[in-house]
Amino acid sequence: MTDDIARIVDDGIGRIARVGDLDSLAEVDRDLFGKQSALATIKAGMRDLEPAERKAIGQALNEAQTRLRAAIAERRESLSADLRRQRLDDERIDLTELRPAQRPGHLHLVTQTMERLEDVFVGMGFTVAEGPEVEDDWHNFTALNLPAHHPARDMQDTFFVDLGEPGDVVMRTHTSPVQIRLMESTTPPIYSVMPGRVYRQETADATHLAVFHQIECLVVDEGISFANLASTIDTFTKAYFGDGFSSRLRPSYFPFTEPSAEFDIRRPDGSWLELGGCGMVNPNVLRNVGIDPEEYSGFAFGFGLDRLAAMRHGVPDLRQIASVDIRFVRQF
């Protein structure tokens, strides 16, 4: 009888190991422990045994049941874990998956414009520098040859920040303060461009925004002349817009450059677009940052990116560029 029990256990353990799902395991469980099972039949036959033999068989039966139940429990645990894993796999949502009908996100038109411009200037040998958007009076105005009460401060309507001395902290009105920071921290030669966001207290209209973007260019080295400025602007114009485009300079006034000019871009159809301001760095500015104007000279120019992007892509109103209307954003 003990041999029968051992065979039942071996056979049972083999079946338990082979089942592939919880339902089949439940069936094996019923076969091994149900009323009609081989073990139940042996148990029923124990009545007719001698007491000593009955004890030995009883013990063997208990051990057999314990082993089989443990094997079933272990198998149930592993099948349940497989099932859980399978369910998690089936229900997994791939958040990076792109549906054919959807378009992936992309950089905003202004950011694309900024990156393209940076590429063009880096290709011409310039480095890219950045500065803070919250500025002090020194960097935004005074060091740029715009001392307190200078009438030209009114050329840029300023947002003041309620910090420090009244009137001392501003949202930068242009990217020119980055020129000052660069010259204060670097010994010439300097060949850099400085893109970024700027702020002016203006009512938005088709050609003006209160928050817009500029890119500044600064060169300081020995023997830099106005001819270098004009040729750099022309080289950049052709590199960015294409060979059919050219540039011109018109006399203008900025306190931080002398002489100063506005520069315009000529489109292939012969029309002109006013792009920005430029000039030779005013010797007063060089002195303000501790650079000797007898030893070094430089030029600077700065222009608006939003207007440039609008022109290039035929956007009629700058306010569209600042909007979050997805129908507009998706076009670029």
Among 82, 202, 292, 317, binds ligand FA5 (CB under 6 A): 202
- Per CB under 6 A, which region of 49-57, 119-127, 189-197, 212-220 contacts ligand FA5? 212-220
By CB under 6 A, residue 306 contacts ligand FA5: yes
Q: At what angle do helices 22-33 and 2-18 cross, to 10 degrees?
A: 170
By CB under 6 A, residue 302 contacts ligand FA5: yes
DSSP 167-187: T-EEE-SSSHHHHHHHHHH-P
Q: Which helix (H) or strand (E) holds 63?
A: helix 51-91
Shorter beta-carbon distance to ligand FA5: residue 43 or 248: 248
DSSP 190-249: EEEEEEEEEE-----BTTB-SEEEEEEEEEEETT--HHHHHHHHHHHHHHHH-TT-EEEE
Among 140, 145, 214, 247, binds ligand FA5 (CB under 6 A): 214
Among 126, 279, 298, 310, binds ligand FA5 (CB under 6 A): 279
Structure tokens belonging to residue 45: 């036959």
CB of 33 within 8 A of CB of 25?
A: no
Among 276, 297, 309, 310, binds ligand FA5 (CB under 6 A): 276
First to last CA, the chain: 85
Shorter beta-carbon distance to ligand FA5: residue 79 or 124: 124
Place of tokens 């003006």: 208
Among 304, 309, 315, 321, binds ligand FA5 (CB under 6 A): 304
By CB under 6 A, residue 278 contacts ligand FA5: yes
Q: Which of 34, 37, 21 has the alpha carbon at shortest distance from 76?
A: 21
Q: Which of 187, 195, 189 has the alpha carbon at shortest distance from 120?
A: 195
Among 43, 76, 116, 208, binds ligand FA5 (CB under 6 A): 208
By CB under 6 A, residue 200 contacts ligand FA5: yes
Report how far Cα 106 is from the mean position of its chain's Cα atoms.
10
By CB under 6 A, residue 10 contacts ligand FA5: no
Shorter beta-carbon distance to ligand FA5: residue 40 or 210: 210
Among 9, 277, 280, 296, binds ligand FA5 (CB under 6 A): 277
Q: Which own/partner pairs from 24-27 qualify as long-range (CB within 8 Å, at least 24 positions apart)?
A: 25/72, 25/75, 25/76, 25/79
- Per CB under 6 A, which region of 63-71, 128-136, 200-208, 231-239 contacts ligand FA5? 200-208
Shorter beta-carbon distance to ligand FA5: residue 32 or 308: 308
Residues that bind ligand FA5 (CB under 6 A): 156, 174, 176, 200, 202, 208-209, 212, 214, 216, 254, 257, 276-279, 300-304, 306-307, 318
